[in-house]
Structure 1
Amino acid sequence: MKTTVVAVINQKGGTGKTTTTINLGSALNKCGKKVLLIDLDPQSNLSYSLAIPNADSTLADVFLGTKNLNDILIEKDGIWIAPGSNDLVDIEISLVGESNRESFLKSILSEAKDFDYVLIDCPPSLSVLTLNALTAAQEVLIPLQMEVLTLQGLDQITKTVAKVKKAFNSKLKIKGIVVVMFDIRRKLSLEVLQYLKDNVEERIFDSHIRLNVKLAEAPSFGKSILDYDASSNGAKDYIALAEEYLTLN
């Protein structure tokens, strides 16, 4: 089985990165794919959002070598999760002094042989952990809100991806930009989207994730939007995104 590893990145917090990792992963699972989610963020928002806040073993243990990846995986509603923890802060500090600091996660994910997709929820910074994700991945997804300041952030992300591709991972490519928290009633949202279409080379997915109250509620119930309310606009949007994503592979 060929496993596709996808890094979901944005150096800003609150941009829909974790929401996209969880719900695109769930939607891919509903489309018949076996999916693993990697919570690489020390804040562990992905784990918390799926009601796995205090796992006995986490990704930090795998980085330390005291556990194998398969030892820590937890299944939830058809998808598998490698939970994160605040201990990843210490892992990141220790990685800085390692000569092969960018390759630890790539080695760890070599164990993930039975999955169609591995989605990595990266920290909200272009850090050593994010560098690990980009070195391990074949593809990058960039969730973006349609705000003026996101344009500056996008430029930084694309430059970082280009540097990682040149130095560590020649197979890395940006799969596309996912428009999130989209409000078609806001003139600014439409203007920023048009600017992106006119000025960036990267693909912008046609499936936009609309602003949706149910999406915000789902983590409180420890579920993806598809398991919390399959009839919501949020669920429909992520299914559409997954279907569009799969047509590009």
Structure 2
Amino acid sequence: MTTISIVNQKGGTGKTTTSINLGSALTKLGQKVLILDMDSQGNLGYSVGLDDGETISDVFEGNAQIQDIIQDREGMDIIPSDMRLVDIELSLIEMDDRHKVLDSYLSKISKKYDYVLIDCPPSLSILAVNALYASDKVIVPMLLEVLSLQGLDQIIQTIQKINSSYKKKLEVLGILPVMVDKRRKLSEEVTDYIKENYDLKIFESMIRNNVKASEAPSFGQSVIAYAPNSNSGKDYMSFAEEVIRLN
């Protein structure tokens, strides 16, 4: 079983889209997948058409068991979130071993899965630290733009801090270029800069700009289900195959 945090503290980098479509593609390839939303905006549940119900907030508040709040979509198991995570974050700050809380919940169910994917909040908060501590690896979806490099530095520093503080061996599985327009020279320049200045893998699979990926949440589906033959559908299937090869 591999637990992967999908993380980038910049908004609009496709964390939720990547979590859903990687999960759906892995499921299509025969893997047993759980996706957990740790972002208080709750966009993941909405994007796959989940019914209103209990969320990870109820588990943190002690009102539900994690195994009882799982919902199924497209063969994936999904745990949604909601705005109460904002208040839960404030309460976690007061706790001893506050970085371990999510890990203790996931340990009760994680053996059922080949992959657990965590959609992280767009900030390096205590909720994000919980997600990273519970993970083995990190995937960084990233726009190939100059400002994205500043965020990349912060992610690397946070991972190093978690590894040194908590004796973890968390590693970056790779950077996933998203919303890629291969005609833009800047995309190639940013890619070359990362290769020259960071000891990080850039996935061979790149997610091309495609309207189908934006449309899919309106129908409560992944792009894998909504438009499997679209550029995005094909790109996420290739990406899932690459993730399996690397594990």
Normalised by the length of structure 1, the TM-score is: 0.97
1:99 aligns with 2:96: yes
Note the alpha carbon deviations across 1:170-224, whole angstroms, 9 max, x for none. Answer: 2311111111111001111121111112221011100000011101111111100
Give the alignment's Cα RMSD to 1 decimal.
Answer: 0.9
- Letter of the aligned partner of 2:56 in structure 1? L
1:128 aligns with 2:126: yes
**Equivalent residues in 2 for 1:55-204, closer than 5 Å:** 55-112=52-109, 113-204=111-202
Kindly, what percent of the aligned residue pairs are identical?
52
Conservation of the 8 A alpha-carbon contact between 2:37 and 2:119: yes
- Runs of 5+ in structure 2 lacking a partner? none
3-state SS of 1:13 partner:
coil
Conservation of the 8 A alpha-carbon contact between 1:135 and 1:169: no
How far apart in 2 are the matches of 1:79 and 1:242? Answer: 14
Q: What is the deviation of 1:64?
A: 1.4
Conservation of the 8 A alpha-carbon contact between 1:55 and 1:83: no
- Letter of the aligned partner of 1:142 in structure 2? V
3-state SS of 1:211 partner:
coil
Normalised by the length of structure 2, the TM-score is: 0.98
3-state SS of 1:102 partner:
helix
Q: Hey, which bits of structure 1, 4+ residues long, moved more than 3 A?
A: none
How far apart in 1 are the matches of 2:104 and 2:123? Answer: 22
Q: What is the deviation of 1:123?
A: 0.3
Q: What is the deviation of 1:169?
A: 4.7
- Runs of 5+ in structure 1 lacking a partner? none
- Letter of the aligned partner of 2:112 in structure 1? D
Task: From 35, 38, 42, give the equivalent of 2:36.
Answer: 38
How far apart in 1 are the matches of 2:131 and 2:212? Answer: 29
Count of residue correspondences: 246
- Letter of the aligned partner of 2:218 in structure 1? S
